[in-house]
Amino acid sequence: MVCLANKPVIGITGAYVFHNKFMEGTYVHHDYQKVIAANGGIPIILPFLAENLVEEMIDQCDAILFSGGEDVDPKFYGQDPHQKLGETIPLRDKWEMSLLEKAMEKKKPILAICRGIQLLNAALGGSLIQDIPSNVKNSIQHSQTVNRSWDFHWVTIDEGSKLADILQETKLRVNSLHHQAIDRLAESLKVTAKSSDGIIEAVEHIYYDNFLVGIQWHPESMAATDEKMNKIFAEFIKSAPVR
């Protein structure tokens, strides 16, 4: 276990970006790193590599944040690709599912954001809506056209949920940067927030003995100006005791 300046080490899963044939690799939006550092954590980026490195990577981290990025390959929940399916990286999906399994075995605190909540649900046996506009009648717009730090639509949060306890709210405005969402919910998860069109916006694990929350919006991009969103990360990091 690595301890840096008596602060918890938070592993953030990395997406992939290609600029040109000379410049490509692991990518994480800087808002994830900034919000972890602002709340007393040490952010480290976890690239998707060989699965035999998963346990060693997990052992370097006090908590894991599953970040946003590409669509989850539908083969991992038993479906063929929809016409509107976006870019997928099956290697990342498989690696992150292994990472999730090992993190849960070791009872690490887990926060899953955007793609992260979708990966979480698929890994635990659920399925996804591959394209909301094509598959959900009368859906609201979930892929906003304004700055990602601005709020865009309402969500309603279940009273008594961990998320409601953290935010001290049961209705609030969130940003929105996705075209997929949870469809069939994994049996070990429970829904804790929805948008007005019924799309699942947050989940919690039913019996996990630590912090395990999935969020469909991007609180990391609102946290600098919205203290309620920042509280999510403060609570997440607080649940990762330094050893």
Could you read off the pLDDT of 64-88 as tens digits, one per residue?
999 999 999 999 999 999 999 999 9
pTM above 0.75, yes or no: yes
Would you call 23 helix, strand, or coil by DSSP? strand
Residue 152 has pLDDT above 90, yes or no: yes
Residue 100 has pLDDT above 60, yes or no: yes
Q: How far, in Å, CA of 12 to CA of 98, rounded?
A: 15
- To the query of whether residue 3 is one of the catalytic residues in this protein, the response is no
In this prediction, what percent of the chain has a pLDDT beyond 70?
Answer: 98
Q: How far, in Å, CA of 218 to CA of 212, rounded?
A: 16
- To the query of whether residue 205 is one of the catalytic residues in this protein, the response is no
Residue 5 has pLDDT above 80, yes or no: no
Greatest Cα pair distance in the chain? 51
Q: Tokens standing for 170? A: 């049961």
What's the pLDDT score for residue 21? 85
Are 38 and 5 in contact, with CB atoms under 8 Å apart?
Answer: no
Catalytic residue among 61, 96, 114, 153: 114
What's the pLDDT score for residue 150? 97
Q: How far, in Å, CA of 24 to CA of 217, rounded?
A: 26
Mean pLDDT of 47-64: 92
Burial degree of 116 (CB within 10 A; 0-12, 13-18, 19+): buried
Catalytic residue among 96, 201, 220, 235: 220
Q: How far, in Å, CA of 108 to CA of 127, rounded?
A: 24
What's the pLDDT score for residue 243? 62
- To the query of whether residue 96 is one of the catalytic residues in this protein, the response is no
CATH topology of domain 9-238: Rossmann fold (3.40.50)
